[in-house]
Structure 1
Amino acid sequence: MVEPLCPYFGECGGCTFQHIPYDAQLENKRKELASHIEFQDIKVFSGAAYHYRNRMDFVFHPGGLGLRKKGKWHQIKDIPECVISDERLNNLLKEVRSFFQKPDSFDLKKHNGTLKYAVIRTPSEDSSVSFVLNEESSSREVVEQKIGEFAAKTTANNIIITFVPPKTDASVSEEFIRVKGSDMLKESYLGREFLYSVQGFFQNNHAMAEQMQEYCHDLFNKYQTKNAHLLDLYGGVGTFGIINASLFKTVTIVESVPGCIDAAKQNIQKNNTTNASALLLNAKTLKKLELRSPLFVLTDPPRSGMHPKTIEELGRLRPEVIIYVSCNVQQLGRDVKKFSDYDIKSAALFDLFPQTPHSEAVIELVRKR
């Protein structure tokens, strides 16, 4: 047992592993992954144990901003500073708290009030605050004006206002307005620059995510891929596909979220990746594509894992190698067992989420001969 760094440990609902020594956290996560995939030789990659996050969704309450209390979704613990968040994010949190000292906060039980969330993001080369408002609030215009005043003073590069229904607990929406800067953020991995939506998914631990990108690139680099084709499944804004494009003859990025595909196409152009294409497609309808051999696959599905139809189609396509990136080791274990024609050649764990039970895993699956 160790003394938690956070003074709100036990009250706040997050970071439940702070009382466990970090080396023990890593070993516990390694053992869990090994148990689920039935493979013991796992490389473990870790970085900063605190001050690593570059995205936080803070909840407004009458006294300021905070996070949900442990086991009490409707109660908010006031959080002046978050110890897993990076310095720039905490500085923006202070700016928001200082400006909105008595906010017209949304009541989680009565479903009235205006301000629901402040989503703060601080990628290494950019920053944003997304204010999430109750779209039915009668005070919307007053709050929007106040956010405009904040935008003129804040050090954040980008400010947007997002509107959600009162009974929808979400911090993203297609209904939004841009107040300052852009609705897109930029980040760099391994010398390549990527754009993604202020409201979109992107890894929140830059240092570890970049290590994971480099690791996957090195895995592919071991194979003869000059005349091979890469399928980047659940490809998001195209990071894996674009970073590995120099190794392959062609790259096909498949993603089902229109905004991500739009960003992927921009990123292909921005990085002059002439052999890559981005397609709007649900991975479960993969059979609609005409894919050439030899084929290599990188798949990075959501926590729910890969759709059975996707796995079935990959079985028919018989790629040489499948690199499976997963944020849910339990689901990974279930999915890997379905690839009966493949052996696990290597496995790695990347601790993108210290002080929590979560991690990322990368499994190298090689087709049996």
Structure 2
Amino acid sequence: MQCRYYQQQKCLSCNWINYPYQTQLEKKQQQLLQQLADFNPQQIADPFASDESAFRNKAKMAVLGTVEKPILGIQTGNEIMDLCDCPLYSNSMQNVLKIVRTYIRKQGLVPYNINKRKGELKFVIVTETTNQETKQFMLRLVMKSHKLIARIKNSLKQLQDKIQNLVVVSINIQPSHAAILEGDEEIVLTTTQFLPVSLNRIPLYIKPKSFFQTNTRVAENLYKTASDWVTDFPIKSIWDLFCGVGGFGLHCINQLPNRNIELTGIEISVDAIECASRSAKQLGFKHLSFKSLDATKYAIAQHAIPDLVLLNPPRRGAGAALMQYLEQVKPTFILYSSCNLHSLVDDLRMLPDYQLVKAQLFDMFPHTAHMEVLVLLTKKQPTVNTISVFNDLVF
């Protein structure tokens, strides 16, 4: 992928972009093989490759410049760079960003100036989904205060007329002068707060404050692979911990032949739980429940242990308390998806009684060193002490 921003040293986020894409995959696969070697994996599949450009479904842009000439992009030192043409985004996403930039100017939404601590509009966040080849969008405007809400509400129809299929528009209030992307308060301006996306014919939903994988095609294949790996297992119950909007759990339930499987999805985000519950209801599953709780506290408090535990924690990993608990109670299967190879390895070291059966790299983040890794673990069968058995028989 060619990027003039990187070539001009204006944006260095894609710090592996000078490597040919195949070389990037080879380097990541080599890292994966090295890091997992101590676990004696039975199978490590070839990497699943991403598109090299136009793969990112979410744009987070700082609003810089002036109200007469707003800039959506980044600031490095004293230099401001507009990134509306970033090749990580599709043409339709780039067009939406430019329309929003014009809207900011015409409506007089003053960009927040970090140095002067003046202005209102801090960030623009755009999410793109595709349903039956139709592009749909969610727009979030991160503001310092409520000052311009009425102006934005009054001009909402103009914005929706310009951006086809602008499904969700919201304002997030972030009053702090700090390097924080968003605040607690979210004000949804549209009639719906759910942006739909269909992956492998599974209906999923995204709310303004819920997490969703940023590479849709790779996420779709990640979920499908996860469900394929467990489809032949004798599973009656599942915990889906750090479940997000329910992508892993819903795919696994939909793939398994037993339609009476009990699944409990746990996620701290209330928005994400609303999305997962909406999907489960639409699919007609009767034994699914999604709860907004701390995953570790939930698991440790349970007495009935499921057959399969799904894990998809944030970058820091699942953590010692949860992993040590799983090692103690020993569910038969663990399926773990991680965006941080190092925290994944740290967590796996706490599961000595499990065999790493399968692993695969999914290139969710091209042109960087980051990767998504899916691993399947099964509980090791207890070894029989033949000497003890012999002594028992003789004596």
- TM superposition score normalised by structure 2: 0.85
Does the 8 Å CA contact 1:133/1:164 hold for their aligned counterparts? yes
Quick check: 1:93 aligned with 2:97?
Answer: yes
Q: How does 1:174-213 map to 2 (within 5 A)?
A: 174-213=184-223
Return the alpha-carbon distance in structure 1 between the equivalents of residues 173 and 153 of structure 2: 11
The residue number in structure 1 matching 2:123 is 117
Out of 212, 235, 247, the residue aligned to residue 243 of structure 2 is 235
2:5 pairs, out of 5, 8, 23, with 8
Alignment-mate amino acid for residue 58 of structure 2:
R
Shift of 1:254: 1.4
Aligned residue for 2:50? 47
Relative distance call for 1:263 and 1:143 in structure 2 (3 A) is closer
Q: 1:174 to 1:270 in 2, by over 3 A?
A: farther
Choose the corresponding residue for 2:163, options 154, 159, 164: 154
Secondary structure of the residue aligned to 1:35 is: helix
Cα gap change, 1:51 to 1:160, in 2 (>3 Å): same
- Residue type at the aligned position of 1:26: L
Q: Give the superposition deviation at 1:142.
A: 4.9
Deviations 1:239-260 (A, max 9, x none): 2111211425211111122222
Any residues of structure 2 matched to 1:289-308 within 5 Å, and which?
Answer: 289-292=302-305, 295-308=307-320
Look up the SS of the partner of 1:277 in the other structure. Answer: strand
Alpha carbons of structure 1 residues 80 and 258: separation in structure 2 relative to 1, 3 Å:
closer
Residue in 2 that maps onto 1:333: 345
Give the conservation status (yes or no) of the 8 Å contact 1:115–1:134.
yes
Which stretch shifts more, 171-180 or 155-164?
A: 171-180
| Separation of aligned partners in 2, 1:99 and 1:292 | 53
Q: Post-superposition shift, 1:127?
A: 0.8
Shift of 1:319: 1.1
In 2, Cα distance between equivalents of 1:113 and 1:75? 19
Equivalents in 2 of 1:368, 1:318: separation in Å? 10
Deviation at 1:140, TM superposition (A): 6.1
Counterpart of 1:297, as a letter, is: V
CA deviations 1:133-188 (Å, max 9, x no partner) are 1127x666556655664345332222211111141433333323222342221111
The secondary structure found in structure 1 opposite 2:55 is coil
Q: What is residue 28 of structure 1 aligned with on the other side?
A: 27
The residue type paired with residue 128 of structure 1 is M
Which sections of structure 2, spanning at least 5 residues, go unmatched?
A: 382-395
Q: Secondary structure at the match of 2:80?
A: strand
Contact 1:37/1:336 (CA < 8 Å) preserved in 2?
A: no
Larger mean CA deviation between 310-319 and 20-29 belongs to 310-319
Query: How far 1:32 moved relative to its partner?
Result: 1.8
Q: CA deviation at 1:192?
A: 1.3
Write the mapping of 1:337-356 to structure 2, written as runs, cut at 5 A. 337-356=349-368
Superposition deviation, residue 342 in structure 1:
0.9
Moved more, 33-42 or 144-153: 144-153
Range 103-112 or range 122-131, more displaced? 103-112
Pair 142,317 (structure 1): closer, same or farther in 2 beyond 3 Å: same
Distance in 2 (alpha carbons) for counterparts of 1:174 and 1:330: 30
Match in the other structure for 1:127: 137
Q: What amino acid maps onto 1:159 in structure 2?
A: V
**Identical aligned pairs, as a percentage?**
23
Is the CA contact (8 Å cut-off) linking 1:242 and 1:276 kept in structure 2?
no
Task: Report SS of the residue matched to 1:46.
Answer: coil
> Matched residues in 1 for 2:110 and 2:296: separation?
43
Residue type of the alignment partner of 1:352:
M
Amino acid at match of 1:47: S
After superposing the two structures, state which structure 1 stretch, 173-182 or 103-112, moved more. 173-182
Q: Distance in 2 between matches of 1:75 and 1:364?
A: 46
TM-score normalised by length of structure 1: 0.90
Question: Quick one: which amino acid aligns to residue 217 of structure 1?
Answer: S
2:85 aligns with one of 74, 81, 84? 81
CA contact (8 A) 1:234 1:256 kept: yes
Counterpart position of 2:392: none
Q: What residue number does 1:287 align with? A: 300
Aligned residues: 360
**RMSD of the alignment, in Å?**
2.2
